[in-house]
Amino acid sequence: MQKVGFFRSIHLKFVLMYVLLILIAMQVIGIYFAQELEQTLEKNFQESIKDRVNLLEFSVREEMTRQRTEEDPSPEESLKSVLSGFSSDDILEVRIIDSKMRILATSEYENQQLVNQPMVDELVQNSIQSGAQYSKTYLNEDSQRRIWVLAMPVISGGEVIGSLYIESNIEKVYSQINDINQILAGGTAFSLGITVILGILLAQTITRPIADMTKQASAMAKGNFARKVRVYGQDEIGDLAKAFNHLTTRLQEAQSSTESERRKLATVLSNMTDGVISTDRKGRIILINDTALGMLGVPREHVLNRPVPAVLGLEQEHTFEDLVDMQDPVTIDFSDEERPYILRANFSVIQKETGFVNGLIVVLHDITEQEKIEMERREFVSNVSHELRTPLTSMRSYLEALADGAWKDEEIAPSFLHVTQTETERMIRLVTDLLQLSRMDSREYELNTDIVDFVKFFHRIIDRFELMKSKDVQFVRLIPPGPLYTELDMDKMTQVIDNIISNALKYSPDGGNVRFSVQAEDDHIKVAVSDQGMGIPEANVKRIFERFYRADKARSRAMGGTGLGLAIAKEMIQAHGGHIWAESEEGKGTTIFFTLPFEVVEAGEWD
């Protein structure tokens, strides 16, 4: 902060103000006082002179009007003696003048030669003519002193018989006034000095708290709320300091509550499973949580300040203004070849009360799983409808043909009826399989398990197929003598193995081998059924366990397959705690493997 210079400071203003006030007051008082004093002193001086001169006038009048005898001294002598008795410090010279303006006597020793000389003086002349007193102050050029001159008529019997001329030294009065003025000036200077010091001290009582508050305010601006302003007194400035301290406390509270709100919000944002993006009013990203960064797979510094449509990959279809007006969520497909990844973006606008758009909040929600389930459901429904429709259409055409008269033909009718029967059976099988899968999906079934010697159990199933087989296929058994105990539901496991073996027979040509192997591994039994049939293209090997999946649709349907056998087998094996998988080479053959957990049981215990 800029420091206030001395010439602009309150210090100087205060001091100047006081000094000027005192100066003006002293001047006014001084002038009035000096004038009054001068007048009073002058008047007193003149009065005292006049009092004395009045006395003198009486004596002079007596002398001038006295009837003289021979023994009496001459009038000049007697007047001289009157004057000699009349002397003082103030009075410089007294002259007695007769009515003809002739000097009769003078008190001044050096002026004795003037006796009997005419007196040339206007005041004396005026006083003799008018019988009144005249006075005047003038500056003696030689001595540089002020002289007060008084001409007083001597009146006897109503007639002016002469005049007294008095010169007095009034300078003393003026020097007294001068002394007093000097004292006054000294006093003024002294009081001004004290005023300056007091002014500075007084200004400090105001400037110090203000400087303190200024420091405090700049500390607050830097986020330091620990400082407190000192309260110097109970006056208005003290109140201001208290209010300032209160303000500091409130600001600190407000700031800490904002800070904790911010932290809460940050925690909420970072722990949300949804991605949140916030933009400024131009659509540039100003905030993005970790979840959103993870969803978009970008580092924070790459997206901050970038336009949100570009970051979401929507810049082709939508501008920022479109997104602001967007009512419905937008689905954004980030799927690549390896994995599906679909996000749903909801937009809400940050608006001021005025309606001014201040930014946009985008909430991203991962809906991949939802979309996948939805897709599977749609596919499943379409598959089921398709699977049912095919046999139904073929049955309809056969039944129509029969109704149109083919029933009469003994050759054709039985074969047509046979087709409708097979199609019906296929549909029943399909519906049964579907029901079974749906029960497994909703876990509405129980395994009816027993501890079984798997070797014996497997041989029995293979025996059944060997008896019934219609193809010229060689069965090869690579099965240890056993027993190998495992816990299984015999009905369900029979169904699984039936399907695997019937697949092997269905999809192999005449003359091939079907090999059965059982191996005891660490904690499980590993079973494999291999054929030398047509095999499955490598890309589709994994898919044969999907519902309704058939590698060669037309062919497997012709063989009466529904495409649900291996899907059921997979669920069953997993329910038994095992795994199932396939290995295949197109044109060479296929091997289906599965495992079952091992039960270690003493030999002979369960036979």
Q: Which residue in the set 552, 583, 586, 599 belongs to the binding site for ligand ATP (CB under 6 A)?
A: 552
Find which of ligand ATP, Mg ion, none residue 590 binds, CB within 5 to 8 Å per kind. ligand ATP
Q: Decide: helix, strand or coil at residue 410.
A: coil
Q: Which stretch binds ligand ATP (CB under 6 A): 128-136, 216-224, 232-240, 545-553?
A: 545-553
Find which of Mg ion, ligand ATP, none residue 209 binds, CB within 5 to 8 Å per kind. none
With residue 570 as reference, give the H or E element that holds it. helix 565-575
Site for ligand ATP in 484-503 (CB under 6 A): 499, 503
Structure tokens at 97: 């003048």
Find which of Mg ion, ligand ATP, none residue 458 binds, CB within 5 to 8 Å per kind. none
Phi, psi of 594 (to 5 degrees): -150, 160
Q: Which residue in the set 565, 570, 576, 596 belongs to the binding site for ligand ATP (CB under 6 A)?
A: 565
Q: Say how far apart CA 105 and CA 94 lie, in whole Å.
A: 8
* DSSP class of 102: B
Distance of CA 408 to the CA centre of its chain: 94
> Considering beta carbons, is residue 298 or 462 the nearer one to Mg ion?
462
Q: Which residues contact 503 (CB under 8 A, 6 or more apart)?
A: 565, 566, 592
> Considering beta carbons, is residue 282 or 471 the nearer one to Mg ion?
471
CB 151 within 8 Å of CB 121: yes
What's the min distance (Å) between Cβ of 380 and ligand ATP? 15
| Count of C-beta atoms within a 10 Å radius of residue 305 | 12
**Residue 391 binds ligand ATP, judged by CB under 6 A:** no
Q: Which residues contact 339 (CB under 8 A, 6 or more apart)?
A: none
Q: Which residue in the set 195, 216, 590, 595 belongs to the binding site for ligand ATP (CB under 6 A)?
A: 590
Find which of ligand ATP, Mg ion, none residue 562 binds, CB within 5 to 8 Å per kind. ligand ATP
Site for ligand ATP in 289-318 (CB under 6 A): none
Helix axes 412-441, 368-403, angle to 10 degrees: 160
CA distances to 33, 58, 77, 83, 602 from 55, rounded to whole Å, are: 33, 5, 19, 11, 171
Q: Which stretch binds ligand ATP (CB under 6 A): 350-358, 406-414, 437-445, 534-542?
A: 534-542
**Residue 565 binds Mg ion, judged by CB under 5 A:** yes
Q: Which stretch binds Mg ion (CB under 5 A): 144-152, 250-258, 336-344, 559-567?
A: 559-567
**Residue 503 binds Mg ion, judged by CB under 5 A:** yes
Count of residues near ligand ATP by CB under 6 A? 23
Q: Decide: helix, strand or coil at residue 166.
A: strand
CB closest to Mg ion, residue no: 565
Helix axes 236-271, 171-221, angle to 10 degrees: 10
What's the min distance (Å) between Cβ of 284 and Mg ion? 59
> Considering beta carbons, is residue 343 or 566 the nearer one to ligand ATP?
566
CB 489 within 8 Å of CB 457: no
| Count of C-beta atoms within a 10 Å radius of residue 519 | 15
Q: Which residue in the set 536, 573, 580, 596 belongs to the binding site for ligand ATP (CB under 6 A)?
A: 536
Q: Which residue in the set 103, 170, 566, 596 belongs to the binding site for ligand ATP (CB under 6 A)?
A: 566
What's the min distance (Å) between Cβ of 585 and ligand ATP? 11
> Considering beta carbons, is residue 344 or 429 the nearer one to Mg ion?
429
Q: Say how far apart CA 433 and CA 144 lie, in whole Å.
A: 150
Find which of Mg ion, ligand ATP, none residue 531 binds, CB within 5 to 8 Å per kind. ligand ATP
What's the min distance (Å) between Cβ of 477 and ligand ATP? 17
CB 106 within 8 Å of CB 93: yes
What's the min distance (Å) between Cβ of 561 and ligand ATP? 2
* DSSP class of 329: -
Q: Say how far apart CA 275 and CA 278 lie, in whole Å.
A: 10
> Considering beta carbons, is residue 283 or 565 the nearer one to Mg ion?
565
Q: Which stretch binds ligand ATP (CB under 6 A): 37-45, 134-142, 351-359, 564-572?
A: 564-572
> Considering beta carbons, is residue 169 or 508 the nearer one to ligand ATP?
508
Count of residues near Mg ion by CB under 5 A? 3
Q: From 220, 245, 214, 251, select the one nearest 231 (Cα to Cα).
A: 245
What's the min distance (Å) between Cβ of 606 and Mg ion? 31
Q: Which stretch binds Mg ion (CB under 5 A): 26-34, 279-287, 384-392, 565-573?
A: 565-573
**Residue 499 binds Mg ion, judged by CB under 5 A:** yes
Question: Which contacts of 124-128 are long-range, i.e. CB under 8 A and separated by 24 or more positions?
Answer: 124/97, 124/151, 124/163, 124/165, 125/101, 126/151, 127/151, 127/152, 127/153, 127/160, 127/163, 128/97, 128/99, 128/101, 128/153, 128/160, 128/162, 128/163
**Residue 507 binds ligand ATP, judged by CB under 6 A:** yes
What's the min distance (Å) between Cβ of 535 and ligand ATP? 6
With residue 554 as reference, give the H or E element that holds it. helix 553-558
* DSSP class of 235: S
Find which of Mg ion, ligand ATP, none residue 536 binds, CB within 5 to 8 Å per kind. ligand ATP
Instruction: List interacting residues with ligand ATP (CB under 6 A).
Output: 499, 503-504, 507, 531, 533-536, 544, 549-552, 556, 561-567, 590
Instruction: List interacting residues with Mg ion (CB under 5 A).
Output: 499, 503, 565
